[in-house]
Structure 1
């Protein structure tokens, strides 16, 4: 499919072999196979081996497979990156990206060893410097070693820790930073996935935060527990009525007699051509989800 939905991105600890096997059957769009935060220090090598073997074995179906490595400045980062390149996931998630050079460094190492060009770079946006340099990081896509960058992933737990702000309903202390990242991502046609909701037993709170993320224009949300999947898929899926309206708008603007029109009245509503462009993306998302569900 030309468009890949990224509504649900579930972290799976690379050190847990049973979790990696279960990942193949979960109803998520993205699997984030983690070698970093979710893995104890004495299990780093085991996790690396298990994740690499799982990705090479395949069997993940429609699910986009992403390996989160440890930072290259750590003792595990270089080995993680090498193993990930060999395993050939859909993307490599780089933690604690502070500036464009962090993207270039990974891209340069991937290019130097001839890594498959289909392997993308995703950037964890989770530090104060990352918040302040979000536009610079997104702009890395303009340079050769940064062209693999395709998605921002918000790491709200680390961001809260490093800035010492409070975690409160509505996320007011971090809202401005999250929207800054969203604007930077959209400036360079990147996807952006919202941060985790920690209390997986608080489904009402989780739903509220998913709804907020959807209103903020996020493409989806990172998850820490399978019980969060269904509500997240539902909230980040296009509404059926909105899709039907979108098809009507597209059809109207695509009609030969309307090719020169930038504004029209449809069912009593004034609609601009930009609304048709927005409708095309909405319909693309709905069709991609429908195609995924038919697999």
Structure 2
């Protein structure tokens, strides 16, 4: 399974059985088990004890599992968050390389103790303050632990840090979001943010908003998005996958460029569009992403079938 296909990542609350028990039926690529903002202070301790069983529940239909811990409680949270089946630990409000190194060392010890291949769990620093954005370079290079995608610089906490409104009809996060994205790309890390979609109402449950968001991200070459409501899952998964027409066109471009190259040519036209090495590279990326999405969807479909059969047999 390709754990890097994360077209829609949705937060779920381990302390709410209604959310966690049915997450596998929603069709998401990723479920983020939240130990942070959605959990009341009085419930933090109980939430820790529910993470391990929640991993099995939320991943029944083939979704990847991330866990978001609490910045003030890193030492207390990580022993409850690092288990086989977890793909990523999310470290909120990261502002320095020292924070990343500290979490990395704890995760590495737990990986060794629990039979998890060392460095296999990604440590994802969440950039949610002005200081975190300024220090993004040192944060991303703090440890040998691989970071395969990176986005940040927006959201509720950044709004508080900058003293701005969270929801507006203009892009108040333009600088921090794109600063984080450029820093990631300079290090060979895939950027997963940076496209502004107006949402002045602040609604997070409208599917048409997800359709608009997916279209904007797709044009920008971004394949990943987050969701707070199940209504976003299907539009994001569909909208961030290559369409059949895009795949067919990519095959035509590759075939035509190969023909041109065989004849010693480097530029040509196809149905009125220019074909050159840049279009060829773009087409190859489209086909690679389509193959990854197909593999993920196939894995999820088989897992869903097994989960449904198990439910029927109860």
TM-score (norm 2): 0.80
Mark the runs of 5 or more structure 2 residues left unpaired by the alignment. Answer: 302-314
Q: Counterpart of 1:147 in 2: which secondary structure? A: coil
Partner of 1:149: 147
Give 1:26 deviation, angstroms: 1.4
Equivalents in 2 of 1:269, 1:216: separation in Å? 20
Give 1:227 deviation, angstroms: 1.2
Equivalents in 2 of 1:190, 1:283: separation in Å? 20
| Residue 235 (structure 2) pairs with residue 236 (structure 1) | no
Partner of 1:84: 81
Q: Counterpart of 2:65 in 1: which secondary structure? A: strand
Partner of 1:50: 50
Contact 1:8 1:220 in 2 (8 A): yes
> 1:44-100 CA distances to partner (integer Å, 9 max, x unpaired)?
1111111222225674332111011111xx2x3212112222344011111112233
| Residue 255 (structure 2) pairs with residue 251 (structure 1) | yes
Contact 2:14 2:20 in 1 (8 A): yes
Q: Counterpart of 1:66 in 2: which secondary structure? A: strand
> Structure 1 residues 35, 3: closer, same or farther in 2, change over 3 A?
closer
Partner of 2:222: 218
Q: Counterpart of 1:181 in 2: which secondary structure? A: helix
Equivalents in 2 of 1:48, 1:39: separation in Å? 10
> Structure 1 residues 274, 31: closer, same or farther in 2, change over 3 A?
same
Partner of 2:296: 292
Give 1:203 deviation, angstroms: 4.2
> Structure 1 residues 234, 146: closer, same or farther in 2, change over 3 A?
same
> Structure 1 residues 201, 29: closer, same or farther in 2, change over 3 A?
closer
> Which of 104, 108, 112 is the equivalent residue of 2:105?
108
> 1:207-236 CA distances to partner (integer Å, 9 max, x unpaired)?
434433444443222111111212222322
> Structure 1 residues 152, 102: closer, same or farther in 2, change over 3 A?
farther
> Which of 112, 115, 129 is the equivalent residue of 2:131?
129
TM-score (norm 1): 0.84
Aligned length: 288
Q: Counterpart of 1:173 in 2: which secondary structure? A: coil
Q: Counterpart of 1:103 in 2: which secondary structure? A: helix
Contact 1:32 1:68 in 2 (8 A): yes
Report the aligned-residue RMSD.
2.8
* Larger Rg, first or second structure (1 or 2): 2
Moved more, 105-114 or 23-32: 105-114
